[in-house]
Structure 1
Amino acid sequence: MTTVQAIEAAVEQLAPEQRAQFRAWFDAFDAREWDQQMDQDLGAGRLDWLADEALADLSAGRCTDR
């Protein structure tokens, strides 16, 4: 049995209240990881193209204020 399978089996054994607690914990954990990855990507300039594209769209008049 893999670690993932063991975790899945353990989650299946949780009572509904425990699953809700686990879900809340995992959502927060996942959000922290997402934020960390975004910070790393921003710091490394991996998302600069998005800002460049948005500024080009603005300059070309392809944006509205709605």
Structure 2
Amino acid sequence: MASLVEEAFQEMQKLPTHLQDELAQQLLEDIQNELKWQESLSNPDIDLGVLQQMAHEALIEDREGKTEDKGFGEE
């Protein structure tokens, strides 16, 4: 296990159980999302042009003030 991961788990063990569970759930969700992204991006049939267009549109919306700043986990 990477030393940074070990350090994170050591720090997490200092927290109350309910916070450990919340962090663990977030980590598991992040890992699953990352695996899905990696699978999607490694698919030879993926149309990267579509992803580029979506990113371009998101940047335009942000410049036009059509987006909202939100903190982690806010909906």
- Aligning the two structures, in what range does the TM-score lie when normalised by the shorter sequence? 0.5 to 0.7
Q: Give RMSD over aligned pairs.
A: 2.0
Q: Structure 2 stretches of 5 or more lacking a match?
A: 47-75
Higher helix share: 1
Q: What secondary structure sits across from 2:43 in the alignment? A: helix
Identity of aligned residues (%): 9
Q: Structure 1 stretches of 5 or more lacking a match?
A: 46-66
Name the structure 1 match of 2:39: 38
2:33 is the counterpart of 1:23? no
Number of residue pairs matched? 44
Name the structure 1 match of 2:15: 14
The structure number with the bigger radius of gyration is 1
